Structures are given as structure tokens and as C-alpha cells.
Homo-oligomer: A and B are copies of this chain.
């Protein structure tokens, strides 16, 4: 892609970069320059993250599953019996918030909390049979969403991105 290379530290007056090729450039879309914002990883990542979440929500709208719900079900599905603390820590969700997430998933009969016998303070989390079935469908839709990402940034770029960010999972 020809997108202008990351300019580092450009305290330059700025602004209108002409798109001589007629292709819409980020900075040219409205003639408003971002100046130093271009070249900030956080800004690009934030905008991308918003796009990707919106596409996820859109793609899984028919099953009414949000990214966080998906991540919770996926982890439980892959590690049945985990406690709420373990899931919360693994996904970086506050345990207080996980309570509500699980309440909702349990109401929908996708997940169940089973009282642990070894430590009666804790719950062992499992998918219900219906949860297993549903998760299979969710994963199919999530894969479709991943294909949207590929279409957006390119197959190789997506792979590279995952490689670069592997340490954050």
C-alpha cells in the first residue's frame, strides 16, 4: 500500500496533502490535517479497534453476541471448570463485571455455574449443551468477521498484525 510512511516527529505547519492519484487519503478526506496524530500508534490502534469491534458486533448481530461475551464463552469452552476469578484474570475483566456478564449468559442458558465441592466459595464454569452448540455457530460467524478484517487490511497484514501483537493475548 502506498499510504504515506509513518512520519516521525513532524512539527510541521502542515496540512493538506493533495491526493494526486485521486485516491482518498486519510488526511485528505476532509482537508483536516492530523499533524502529529499521524505517526501515533495509539491513535491508529484505537481507530482500528473501533472499526473491528463494530464489524464484530454487526457480523454477530443475528446471535446478539458482543466481543466480550464471545471471549468469555470461548475461554470457558476451552477450559471447562475454571473459576470466575480465573476467567476474569485471564481476560482482564473486573470480577465484578464478570458477574453481570455471566448472569446474562446464564439467563440465556449458554453458561452454567456449578458450585465447587473443593472450595465452596467458588464456581466452576461450564458451557451448557446449548452453549456448546451456540458457540460453534458464534465461531463460524466470528470467522466470517475475521475475513472482513482480511478484506480490510489484507491477508498478509492481518497475519503480521497478529504476529506483532501476539504478546498481548
Helix, strand, loop or mixed for chain A's interface? helix
Q: Are the CB atoms of B43 and A45 closer together than 8 Å?
A: no
CA distance A78 to B16 in the complex (A): 10
Residue numbers in B under 8 Å from A15 (CB-CB)? 78-79
**Bound form: Cα–Cα A167–B161 in Å:** 14
Q: How would residues 131 to 169 of chain A score, 1 for a CB under 8 Å from any chain B CB and 0 otherwise?
A: 000000001001101100100110001111111111111
As for how many copies of this chain the complex holds, the number is 2
Number of A positions contacting B (CB below 8 A): 77
- Find A36's partner among B36, B74, B92 (CB 8 Å cutoff): B74
**Closest B residue by C-beta to A145:** B42
Q: Are A79 and B14 in contact (CB under 8 A)?
A: yes
